[in-house]
A and B are shown apart, each in its own frame.
Chain A
Amino acid sequence: MEKPFAITLDPGSSLANRTGSWRTSRPEYVDRLPPCNHACPAGENIQGWLYHAESGDYEAAWRELVKNNPLPAIMGRVCYHPCEGACNRGRLDESVAINAVERFLGDEAIRRGWRFAHGAPTSGRRVLVVGAGPSGLSAAYHLRTLGHAVEIHEAGPLAGGMMRFGIPQYRLPREVLDAEIARILDLGVKLVLNAKVDDLLETMRAGRFDAAFLAVGAHIAKRAYIPAGDSSRILDAVSVLRSMEGEDQPLLGRRVVVYGGGNTAIDVARTARRLGAEEAILVYRRTRERMPAHDFEVEEALQEGVMMKWLSTIRQADEGRIVVEKMRLDDKGFPQPTGEFETLEADSLVLALGQDVDLSLLQGVPDLEIRDGVVKVDSHLMTGYPGVFAGGDMVPSERTVTVAIGHGKKAARNIDAWLRGTARQLAPRHELASFDKLNTWYYSDAPKTVRPVLDILRRQSTFDEVVGGLDEGNALFEARRCLSCGNCFECDNCYGVCPDNAVIKLGPGKRFRFNYDYCKGCGICAAECPCGAIRMVAEQI
């Protein structure tokens, strides 16, 4: 080449200079566990379905959701959403209304008639599910999707368990419940109603079942000894709520006293108000802070005019009146009697003191361990008897619908592994995407869309749903408030902020790759990643 005066070398590109050799630490893309997913008792991939909802693809969002939970419209109403308590956005402004978006997706699926995809090819194995509550339905869905033939034996006249006979209609309309159950049955799950299993092993033998999942729930009301006159009217919460589903509504009278401090007690008190009781008084032996009921339910009950008597126990029940003793908390927080008494006028007393499990079906099953009225299971939810698994309220756990649905899924996957003669191997969990891993500068502030709450008066007199739903605009807005903690959402920040062009953009849905030939390891990409999906690792030198 003819070169200009005083030029001896051809021009070259700086690409010959591999600046990657300067590096002492390297950036790596990671996926961290979002706190919402971590907190979900049903093991939902919440961030995964919000990701699709953010782009307005609600069907893809719903399909991602039902990989783990087949009952989103129900969950979107009755779940106590521990996910929202864990949400990192709560420390920025307010948590993402995950529960409301879930309900929107569930309702959208019912409205548009989305069906479950048929899953794995038929395995030829048969599984018995005892009880058609949330846990049994969840297990049946997952087992069917995994290719097994499933038969549910339900003692009651309708499927749903406590979702039908325990949760009032104002919290869960029955057409929603029916629609989501029907969708599971459409997969080819056989449901046998009014079929109480008395002898488990005999039922399994007769039906040629290879495994069983027990989820009979806890339906027997706990009693407390209360001296009572002949004509006093004492009921239990389980039968009051159950009879709400029958022809004859329970006769509670004008003044109702409910004894207990859990969510069931609140449900009964609010139901009593709706049935026309002028006074519904909740009597609880400890303080409001120590009530097991969720605070928002207590708050809604108070708004509806339910009265609360803290630090009180019931000593005597007679016709038209109840004697209450005041309590005080001792140093250890236990209630102690004070000897001060008070009389309340009451037409009826409803006991909401917790529930026990009817374990009669387990008679004759060897090697079972029963402790504190519940069945002991191992980490795979298998009982001491091989092939018999159990979940929901009848095993030691928190008694919520969400936990029950989670048990159903977990048991189904373990039953599947057991039927195939393998043990289920869980992938190691990702590190938690805690708040300190985020760069929140990039997230703009936005208020939470508050679900429209029905007028208080309407709520008191009818069984219409108390909490309204999001519309499409709100749902999209709410989904887009997700911070995508710990997982790349393709904001292009790393690609943009690298002073060395050492980040390669791979295109929509494919994320990015580092070009270690030129990456000098400055760490700006990791510092400016909004969601904490990049970590710096020391180079081995």
Chain B
Amino acid sequence: MAFQPVKFYQTGTFTVGNRLLAPEERSVQADMARINSLNSGHRACQGCGEALGARYAIDAAMRSTGNRLIAANATGCLEVFSTPYPETSWQIPWIHSVFGNAAAVATGIAAALKVKGHAEVRVVAQGGDGGTTDIGFGCLSGMFERNDDVLYICYDNEAYMNTGVQRSSATPPGARTATTMAVGPQPGNCFGQGKDLPRIAMAHGIPYVATATVADLRDLEYKVARAMSFHGARYLHILVPCPVGWGHGSHETIRIARLARETGLFPVFEAEDGEVTGVSKIRKPVPVEEYLRPQKRFAHLFGRPPRIDIIAGLQEIADRNIRRYGLLDSTD
């Protein structure tokens, strides 16, 4: 599983690198010569989790494939901020598709490479939660069902941020968006809807499904490398906080992602052939309130009077995740 034994008590292996670690034990991001697949000058907002997650993931994929990689990109923040014609931040072969068909485009690239005899060149498709869970879902499910040799990476910031924070099927219950206002008896997004895409991907029985966050770089890099060790359809779901859409400080992006994991609201696990094979345990358990409070999209839950029922509902979701995936060490 993803989690290296603690070797260095100064920092464990939680930091990006460390002068005391042998070079091969450091992360891809610690490398002075890292590829920087998403280069400086992109127009993502300050503290963008998606820009960070995309560089983490694609740099790791480049490392795994010896820089033999082609990326197909769905429309969304990632495409808009990285490639306003004629400039681009991408330092890899990269193709823009429309909102809904990144998976299909990637399938086509993989098929073409196979025909041309370039088996060593690998393909990733990437998009936001809107392009993945809503608009591109049909193409994605088809790609899974055909087991095409593509790694699909979803950068989940839980709404349509590029167009002004509209709800997606990945928006959590209770969250305020432009289309789920904090008004009425059930303010914010409703309970009981949305899609748990990692589990839907697992239901397709594809070789590899994993979740990760930008708060745990080493786990994320491990999962990209693990995914690239398989052929066939693979799915990686990365939680990437959005300071603007979620309403937290631009410096808090990583802390918020960490809290999503530590509360249990975002379970971090991996699965092979439809079976969970490993989970990232919670290190310091915290109630969901600590995750919700710093985010303005949940501010209406803490008004006068506070919506204890909705907070309790979210805690219930976290508790179910903790039970379902065994996120707490039984020794604790």
Known contacts being A480-B8, A495-B30, A526-B251, is A441 close to B86, with CB within 8 Å?
A: no
User: Are A10 and B86 in contact (CB-based, < 8 A)?
Assistant: yes
User: Are A14 and B16 in contact (CB-based, < 8 A)?
Assistant: no
A522: chain B residues within 8 A (beta carbon) = 46-48, 243, 250-251, 253
Listed residue (A477, A489, A497) with the most chain B CB atoms within 10 angstroms of its CB: A497
Chain B contact residues: helix, strand, loop or mixed: loop
B308 contacts the other chain (CB 8 A): no
User: Are B10 and A484 in contact (CB-based, < 8 A)?
Assistant: yes
User: Are A14 and B42 in contact (CB-based, < 8 A)?
Assistant: yes
Known contacts being A14-B82, A17-B87, A499-B48, is A527 close to B251, with CB within 8 Å?
A: yes
Known contacts being A481-B9, A492-B30, A505-B32, is A16 close to B87, with CB within 8 Å?
A: yes
Smallest Cβ-Cβ distance to A479: which chain B residue = B10
**Which of B17-25, B96-104, B105-113, B188-196 lies at the interface?**
B17-25
B residues with a Cβ closer than 8 A to A are 6, 8-12, 14-20, 26-27, 29-30, 32, 36, 38-44, 46-49, 51-52, 55, 82, 85-89, 217, 243, 249-255, 258
Smallest Cβ-Cβ distance to A528: which chain B residue = B254
A396 contacts the other chain (CB 8 A): no
**Which of A70-78, A336-344, A376-384, A442-450 lies at the interface?**
A442-450
Smallest Cβ-Cβ distance to A496: which chain B residue = B16
Q: How far is the CB of B41 from chain A (nearest CB, A)?
A: 3
Smallest Cβ-Cβ distance to A93: which chain B residue = B9
A262: chain B residues within 8 A (beta carbon) = none
Smallest Cβ-Cβ distance to A11: which chain B residue = B86
- 7 A-B contacts, Cβ less than 8 Å apart? A11-B88, A14-B40, A54-B10, A443-B9, A482-B10, A501-B38, A528-B254
Interface size classification for chain A: 35 or more
Bound form: Cα–Cα A307–B293 in Å? 56
* Cβ-defined partner of B217 (8 Å) among A496, A500, A501, A524: A496
User: Are B9 and A480 in contact (CB-based, < 8 A)?
Assistant: yes
* Cβ-defined partner of A9 (8 Å) among B82, B85, B251: B85
User: Are B29 and A495 in contact (CB-based, < 8 A)?
Assistant: yes
A452: chain B residues within 8 A (beta carbon) = none
The 7 lowest CB-CB distance pairs between A and B, nearest first, are A444-B12, A523-B251, A496-B16, A492-B17, A14-B41, A522-B47, A491-B15
Bound form: Cα–Cα A528–B12 in Å? 15
A496: chain B residues within 8 A (beta carbon) = 16-17, 27, 29-30, 217
Smallest Cβ-Cβ distance to B53: which chain A residue = A499
Bound form: Cα–Cα A533–B232 in Å? 45
Q: In chain A between 482 and 541, which residues have their CB closer than 8 angstroms to a CB of chain B? A: 482-484, 489-493, 495-502, 505, 507-508, 515, 517-518, 520-524, 526-528, 530, 536
User: Are B18 and A491 in contact (CB-based, < 8 A)?
Assistant: yes
User: Are B43 and A497 in contact (CB-based, < 8 A)?
Assistant: no
User: Are B47 and A499 in contact (CB-based, < 8 A)?
Assistant: yes
A206 contacts the other chain (CB 8 A): no
Listed residue (B9, B43, B85, B251) with the most chain A CB atoms within 10 angstroms of its CB: B9
Q: How far is the CB of A26 from chain B (nearest CB, A)?
A: 12
Q: A523-B47, A528-B255 are in contact. List 4 more A-B contacts (CB 8 A).
A: A443-B9, A443-B14, A495-B17, A523-B249
A355 contacts the other chain (CB 8 A): no
User: Are B29 and A13 in contact (CB-based, < 8 A)?
Assistant: no
Bound form: Cα–Cα A444–B32 in Å? 25
Bound form: Cα–Cα A496–B19 in Å? 14
User: Are B251 and A524 in contact (CB-based, < 8 A)?
Assistant: yes
Q: How far is the CB of A29 from chain B (nearest CB, A)?
A: 16
Listed residue (A19, A477, A483, A508) with the most chain B CB atoms within 10 angstroms of its CB: A19
Bound form: Cα–Cα A480–B9 in Å? 6
B249: chain A residues within 8 A (beta carbon) = 523
Known contacts being A492-B30, A526-B251, is A501 close to B36, with CB within 8 Å?
A: yes
User: Are A14 and B87 in contact (CB-based, < 8 A)?
Assistant: yes
Bound form: Cα–Cα A12–B52 in Å? 22
Smallest Cβ-Cβ distance to B249: which chain A residue = A523
User: Are A54 and B20 in contact (CB-based, < 8 A)?
Assistant: yes
Smallest Cβ-Cβ distance to B32: which chain A residue = A505
Q: Per-residue CB proximity of A436-467 to B under 8 Å, as 1/0?
A: 00000111101000000000000000000000
B26: chain A residues within 8 A (beta carbon) = 492
A385: chain B residues within 8 A (beta carbon) = none
Q: How far is the CB of A532 from chain B (nearest CB, A)?
A: 14
Q: How far is the CB of A2 from chain B (nearest CB, A)?
A: 16
Bound form: Cα–Cα A218–B254 in Å? 58
A222 contacts the other chain (CB 8 A): no
A18 contacts the other chain (CB 8 A): yes
Q: How far is the CB of A521 from chain B (nearest CB, A)?
A: 6
A55 contacts the other chain (CB 8 A): yes
A22 contacts the other chain (CB 8 A): yes
Q: How far is the CB of A419 from chain B (nearest CB, A)?
A: 41
Q: Per-residue CB proximity of A4-36 to B under 8 Å, as 1/0?
A: 000001111111111100100000000000000
User: Are B43 and A530 in contact (CB-based, < 8 A)?
Assistant: no
* Cβ-defined partner of A521 (8 Å) among B39, B46, B86, B87: B46
B6: chain A residues within 8 A (beta carbon) = 444
Known contacts being A477-B9, A495-B16, is A16 close to B41, with CB within 8 Å?
A: yes
Q: How far is the CB of B11 from chain A (nearest CB, A)?
A: 5
User: Are A490 and B18 in contact (CB-based, < 8 A)?
Assistant: yes
Q: How far is the CB of A323 from chain B (nearest CB, A)?
A: 56
B10: chain A residues within 8 A (beta carbon) = 54, 443, 480-484, 489
Q: How far is the CB of A519 from chain B (nearest CB, A)?
A: 9
